[in-house]
Structure 1
């Protein structure tokens, strides 16, 4: 009987692998979304399926990060594909989840990522940082662009739109799912636990500290075009009202990272989020060896040492960031693809 179960498990795994196997290569091109009403232009990238097999190049060059091989500016494969929009973490950028974007494109997804003004690697203006309500709106604008005026609109299946976010990008995803910022509730929480990372960051950024800003933050920022969400070790769970978290009605995959090297406390972040969400449409994954920074790219040999020399303190993002991280990426890719395809 045990032998039969092993055979069945192997057969099912093979079927799953065959289902994900697609005759596509990942392509990539630049993404520009102009702000016709203000000064918040967005820039990033779109990864997408192509039948072109070359010339292959890397999506970006770095002394620290391993790039993903893509065919730049190739002709898209002729079909309609689901769209996934990515949101990076605090002071990250559109390249942070390129490893996931390229893998999803190979499996038949169009993937868009932008660098959020005010909270990205290259844009940290305090006034833009304070306007945290603009992050979810950035994602909605990318969806507007991808399904409307862009060259990709003919390839996007507007009935299959998904989102994944890491860290502050996870916060962004939860807001888009319908959770409502609760300034008073967060204030009460931070009065009792002032040393929590999210309390310090949101205070330093002056989030919701004027009546006008509070109204913007506590507004409904949801986007009902998004069918399902993947949340990667988010921060800021306690800033949302519990009532609004309980009312989220779309599927949500939540990853928690128990290797707590980021300053986030798992019990009041990912574990608290999954406890508040409706059980019927949420799934929680907490691999024993997963860390917050495993949702970033794979580090090159010597990347840790280079960061330790040039950006002391930042080298932690490359801790176990090579082969071990690559294996975790494969697990995350499979889990996200399976969740979205069944949502």
Structure 2
């Protein structure tokens, strides 16, 4: 039912410094390697981890779900082309690695190794248990994805596991906030929906039913709130700490259930990518809520005309119905800006994991 895929004046100088470093592109260019892709064996009950990485092998066209991608599958890593850093990406509810392949390529082009855990019960092949059960287990799945890379003799020797980056989008953004030190509870989600279900209906109800007005809408709200009160009756705060994670980016995150005090000063550098016309996770209840409270966060990129699905790149074809209404790009949104957004994410991780400007970053 509950499917879910920071800048003030005093923070402006930090953002300006980041953008200045991003603009200094030229002097530290890394020659682009091909993009390798491999699956690492699962740890415990987890699904396999999808890994993207620099390789000197030749890419070939491969089919991954509905996408034709250019990858060097099962190719040996090119250690000399790596920058020695790992970034873990957490997909949204019902998602997978392929809808973030463009960002993975941008990171690999800068020398990063990129790992995607497939979140159990909340992915494209197994979508049956989104919501609190998934939110509780997702951060540990990120940590075990790091473990899986650290145990692989082909990749582990070339990576500094004390400086890992983490990016998450939507429900993956919820995971990202947890990895940055955020504390959340199901009870907070319940209280949010009790107060704001009409304004943030898709967050509270997901894909089960459309929002409507009149007596039909009132009945939908009554049923939804009854279910929410039954499922989200626990005020236990959930946290996760992995000291290896040293920088975090949250893209259009689900955030209404976080204790703001836990994200006032996150334990690691935390940046946000926001979408002004997000109808699934209405910004004022999610990303903007945290940005207003956080004293150290930055808004890495803002897309005022973007909807919730803007950060899915490549975008999944053939979706329809309510899902399409919530994910499709609003009229006027220009996807040509997405490479620049990816470049800012890459630049953020280079700055905070390596201390160097990105060679491909371009400001949108």
State whether TM-score is above 0.5.
yes
2:43 to 34, 53, 58: 34
**CA deviation after TM superposition for structure 1 residue 130, in Å:** 2.6
Quote the residue 1:221 is aligned against: 240
Give the Cα–Cα distance (whole angstroms) in 1 for the partners of residues 47 and 89 of structure 2.
13
Quote the residue 1:74 is aligned against: 75
Q: Does 1:135 find its partner at 2:138?
A: yes
Contact 2:190/2:233 (<8 A) preserved: no
Q: 1:83 to 1:13 in 2, by over 3 A?
A: closer
Give the Cα–Cα distance (whole angstroms) in 2 for the partners of residues 95 and 206 of structure 1.
35
Quote the residue 2:342 is aligned against: 333
Give the Cα–Cα distance (whole angstroms) in 1 for the partners of residues 86 and 299 of structure 2.
21
TM-score, length basis structure 2: 0.75
Q: Please tell me the root mean square deviation across aligned C-alpha atoms, in Å.
A: 3.1
**CA deviation after TM superposition for structure 1 residue 148, in Å:** 2.9
**CA deviation after TM superposition for structure 1 residue 210, in Å:** 6.3
Quote the residue 2:7 is aligned against: none
Q: Does 1:264 find its partner at 2:281?
A: yes
Bigger relative CO (Cα 8 Å, ≥ 6 apart):
2
Unaligned runs of 5+ in 1: 1-10
**CA deviation after TM superposition for structure 1 residue 245, in Å:** 1.1
State the Cα deviation string for residues 30-79 of structure 1 (Å, max 9, x = none).
Answer: 133221xxxx3222410001123x1x22353455x4x4422122221124
Give the Cα–Cα distance (whole angstroms) in 2 for the partners of residues 219 and 249 of structure 1.
16
Contact 1:252/1:282 (<8 A) preserved: yes
Quote the residue 2:15 is aligned against: none
Q: Does 1:97 find its partner at 2:100?
A: yes
Q: 1:249 to 1:283 in 2, by over 3 A?
A: farther
After superposition, residues 138-153 of structure 1 pair within 5 angstroms as: 138-149=141-152, 151-153=154-156
Quote the residue 1:3 is aligned against: none
Quote the residue 2:10 is aligned against: none
Q: 1:82 to 1:188 in 2, by over 3 A?
A: same
State the Cα deviation string for residues 205-240 of structure 1 (Å, max 9, x = none).
Answer: 8897466xx64xx232122211111111112x1201
Contact 1:91/1:119 (<8 A) preserved: yes
Secondary structure in 2 aligned to 1:93? coil
2:292 to 275, 283, 288: 275
Quote the residue 1:4 is aligned against: none
Bigger mean CA deviation after superposition, 120-129 or 333-342:
120-129
Q: 1:99 to 1:127 in 2, by over 3 A?
A: closer
Give the Cα–Cα distance (whole angstroms) in 1 for the partners of residues 130 and 112 of structure 2.
35
Give the Cα–Cα distance (whole angstroms) in 2 for the partners of residues 222 and 13 of structure 1.
29
Unaligned runs of 5+ in 2: 1-19, 207-223, 353-364
Q: Does 1:295 find its partner at 2:311?
A: yes
Quote the residue 1:244 is aligned against: 262
Q: 1:68 to 1:205 in 2, by over 3 A?
A: farther
Quote the residue 1:160 is aligned against: 163
Quote the residue 1:286 is aligned against: 302
Q: Number of residue pairs matched?
A: 309
Contact 1:165/1:230 (<8 A) preserved: yes
Contact 1:28/1:59 (<8 A) preserved: no
Give the Cα–Cα distance (whole angstroms) in 2 for the partners of residues 208 and 284 of structure 1.
34
Q: Does 1:253 find its partner at 2:271?
A: yes
**CA deviation after TM superposition for structure 1 residue 85, in Å:** 0.3
